[in-house]
Amino acid sequence: MRALRSKQHRPVFTPEERAQWVSRFRSSGLTQVQFAQQHGLKLTTLQRWLYGRGPKQKRPKATFREIVVSPLGPTGAWAAEITWPHGVTVRLGAEAEASWIEALLHAVCQAC
């Protein structure tokens, strides 16, 4: 006689509970990995809640768009990096002026 395998039951969260988890993550200042580990969540579950993908939806293919801005000058080490939840990353050099950063961020937001 074969033993029956029992399924592990995973918690089911209501849409309101998922929204609360997302809000808690966004105000936590933690990385996705840190937050998931600290709260006993699967990283993929947290990411699905953050990006609004259902369990059977595929991640959209990456697309690239060129954004033309005036050059900074000599390149050096990155002074800052900004990453949006949908995957866009902008790296800024230490020489970047506030007006240039503002124009760049505006162009990035328009492109997304």
Tens of pLDDT, residue by residue over 29-60, are: 888 999 999 999 999 889 888 887 655 555 56
29: nearest Cα among 19, 42, 18, 38? 38
Predicted pLDDT of residue 93: 78
First to last CA, the chain: 58
Q: What is the pTM of this model?
A: 0.42
- For residue 49, the number of C-alpha atoms closer than 13 Å in the C-beta half-sphere is 22
Percent of the chain at pLDDT exceeding 90: 10
Q: What is the pLDDT of residues 55-87, one digit of tens each?
A: 555 556 666 666 666 665 555 567 778 887 777
Residues 58 and 70: their CA atoms lie apart, in Å, by: 36
More confidently predicted of 1 and 97: 97
